Amino acid sequence: MEKNNIITFDYTYLMYRKLWINDRWRFSGELVKLKIKCSMGKASNDEFKRLDAMNRVVEENNHKWLD
């Protein structure tokens, strides 16, 4: 039996990683808006996925917003 090695890319994550590098203030603004919407229970599944990707970027950068 042959095993297929499939590589998948998370384009949402890649987009937010690039935004983190190029425009931290815009990234921060979007993150705050999504967190508020999710905490109010008004977010869609897509918005929860976007928030997860953004949280992943923040965690990978040790939560250092100003560096």
Task: Tell me the per-residue pLDDT of 4-49, one tens digit each, with 9 for 90 and over.
Answer: 777 778 899 999 999 999 999 999 999 999 999 999 999 999 999 9
The CA-atom distances, in angstroms, between 19 and each of 2, 5, 12, 31, 39 are 39, 29, 11, 11, 23
Q: Flag whether the pTM goes above 0.85.
A: no
Residue 65, pLDDT > 80, answer no
Report the distance separating Cα 32 and Cα 22, nearest Å.
18
User: What are the extents of the domains in the chain?
Assistant: 11-60
